[in-house]
């Protein structure tokens, strides 16, 4: 209900109501729309690993929508956890837990930040087909990670779920399992949903 009430409002209106200054340059505003919506909807906030609406177990995701009506960007899901990934199974995986129940809020990614309008939110849980698609990609990727092939993984892999860097820059380093039980220092990575997947959700 709170999300529906925000439909049609601009980010500038939200920022004003919350007393937040919007950055001038777009590239300095990467996470801002998501944080405005967290606050406007009374999400628990902060950097804790719990869902945004902890008591409800619901995750909030904002999606930038281009002029054609389709998502302009992929959606970050969670980190690739180096130590856990080898022993993780899909049912208890971080990816599955994170995507178990999501409130998707589209935001028009057109024009100045302050003029961008919030669209109709959609509360979603994966259908059997959607979960099957995610699981297939996840199992392929987790298998590679578990065998120490992290350096072989590019963002090309996965039909709907992919792995890409998640770091302040390309020089950052984290430990990941390497070949034959060794470890390698490489750029930290995260799971992302391709925009083809979010398009399917938001379009249906």
> Which of residues 16, 112, 114, 167 is near DNA by CB under 7 A?
167
Q: How many residues bind DNA (CB under 7 A)?
A: 52
SS3 for 99-117 is CCCEEEEEEECCCCHHHCE
**Residue 31 is a binding residue for DNA (CB under 7 A):** yes
Binding segment for DNA among 130-138, 142-150, 161-169, 175-183 (CB under 7 A)? 161-169
Phi, psi dihedral angles at 144 (to 5 degrees)? -65, -45
With tokens 């935001």, the residue in question is 107
**Residue 161 Cβ, how far from DNA at the closest point, in Å?**
11
Nearer to DNA, 7 or 180 (CB): 7
**Residue 187 is a binding residue for DNA (CB under 7 A):** yes
Between the CA of residue 106 and those of 35, 120, 139, what are the distances in Å? 14, 7, 29
**Residue 53 is a binding residue for DNA (CB under 7 A):** no
**Residue 73 is a binding residue for DNA (CB under 7 A):** yes
> Which of residues 12, 13, 58, 76 is near DNA by CB under 7 A?
76
Task: List, in sequence order, every residue forming a beta bridge with 10; answer none if it has no partner.
Answer: 117
**Residue 117 is a binding residue for DNA (CB under 7 A):** no
Residues 6+ apart with CB under 8 A from 65: 71, 72, 106, 107, 108, 109, 119, 202
Nearer to DNA, 78 or 136 (CB): 78
Q: Nearest-CA neighbor of 166 among 185, 151, 188?
A: 188
What count of residues does the chain have?
A: 204
Q: Interface residues with DNA (CB under 7 A)?
A: 23, 26-35, 37-38, 45-49, 52, 59-64, 72-76, 78-79, 107, 109, 154-156, 162, 164-172, 187, 190, 192, 194-195
């Amino acid at each position: 209900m709170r999300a529906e009430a925000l439909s049609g409002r601009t980010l500038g209106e939200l920022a004003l109501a919350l007393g937040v200054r919007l950055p001038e340059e777009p590239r300095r505003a990467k996470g801002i729309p998501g944080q405005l919506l967290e606050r406007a909807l009374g999400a628990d906030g902060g950097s804790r690993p719990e869902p945004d609406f902890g008591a409800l177990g619901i995750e909030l995701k904002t999606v930038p929508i281009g002029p054609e009506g389709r998502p302009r960007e992929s959606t970050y899901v969670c980190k690739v956890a180096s130590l856990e990934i080898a022993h993780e199974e899909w049912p208890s995986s971080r990816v599955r837990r994170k995507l178990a129940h999501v409130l998707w809020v589209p935001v028009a990614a057109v024009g100045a930040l302050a003029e961008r309008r919030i669209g109709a939110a959609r509360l979603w849980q994966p259908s059997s087909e959607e979960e099957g698609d995610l699981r297939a990609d996840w199992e392929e990727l987790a298998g590679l990670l578990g065998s120490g092939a992290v350096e072989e993984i590019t963002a090309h892999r996965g039909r709907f779920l992919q792995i890409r860097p998640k770091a302040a820059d390309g020089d950052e380093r984290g430990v990941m399992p390497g070949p034959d039980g060794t470890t390698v220092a490489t750029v930290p990575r995260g799971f992302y949903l391709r925009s083809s997947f979010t398009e399917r959700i938001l379009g249906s």
